[in-house]
Structure formats: structure tokens, C-alpha cells
């Protein structure tokens, strides 16, 4: 793990109170709750980018949501054939 990097910033009092309340509920230091919140936010952002990428590729390929069940069935059939022959 990378060494700690101290940064200083201010947050609104209401948000600080929310952070402290969450920390108290979980019996954890506020910094741990904040760290988890940032990590969760970044993970969500990566997931949203992945979904957007998939939607862009599907649109470029001319695929629609209606195609999904057929594509899944085709993939499963190909996979079964591969298992049977190999």
C-alpha cells in the first residue's frame, strides 16, 4: 500500500455531522468512513464508465436490448458445444 498523503480540506458543517454520525453508528473513525466513501465512489464511477463503454459498443454494432436474450442463448449453445467436443 502506498504511504499516506496528508491533505487538508474543509467540508460543510452539515456534511461533517453526517460523517461523524456514520462513524459513530459503525464504531469507526471518521477517516475510515470517508476513505470507504471515496473508494465506493471511485468504484461506482469505474462501473458507470464500463456500462457506458458497453452501451456505446452495442450501439455501434446495431444491437438493442431486444437482442440480448437471443445473444445469451447463442453464447450458451456455443459454450455447451465446446464442452461436449472438448
**Local confidence pLDDT in tens for the 86 residues of the chain:** 667 788 888 999 999 999 999 999 999 999 999 999 999 999 999 999 999 999 999 999 999 999 999 999 999 999 998 888 76
Assign 47 to helix, strand or coil.
helix
d(CA 20, CA 33): 9
The answer to whether residues 30 and 41 touch, using CB atoms and an 8 Å cutoff, is no
| CA–CA gap between residue 63 and residue 72 (Å, rounded) | 13
pLDDT of residue 1: 60
Query: In this structure, are residues 71 and 61 in contact, taking their beta carbons and an 8 Å threshold?
Result: no
CA 17, 19, 20, 22 torsion-angle sign: positive
Report whether 23 contacts 34 (CB < 8 A).
no
pTM: 0.69
Amino acid at each position: 500500500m502506498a504511504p499516506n498523503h496528508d491533505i487538508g480540506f474543509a467540508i460543510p458543517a452539515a456534511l461533517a455531522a453526517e460523517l461523524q454520525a456514520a462513524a459513530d453508528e459503525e464504531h469507526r473513525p471518521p477517516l475510515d468512513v470517508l476513505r470507504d466513501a471515496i473508494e465506493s465512489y471511485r468504484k461506482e464511477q469505474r462501473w458507470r464508465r464500463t456500462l457506458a463503454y458497453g452501451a456505446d459498443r452495442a450501439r455501434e454494432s446495431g444491437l438493442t436490448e431486444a437482442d440480448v436474450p437471443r445473444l445469451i442463448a447463442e453464447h450458451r449453445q456455443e459454450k455447451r458445444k465446446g464442452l461436449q467436443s472438448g
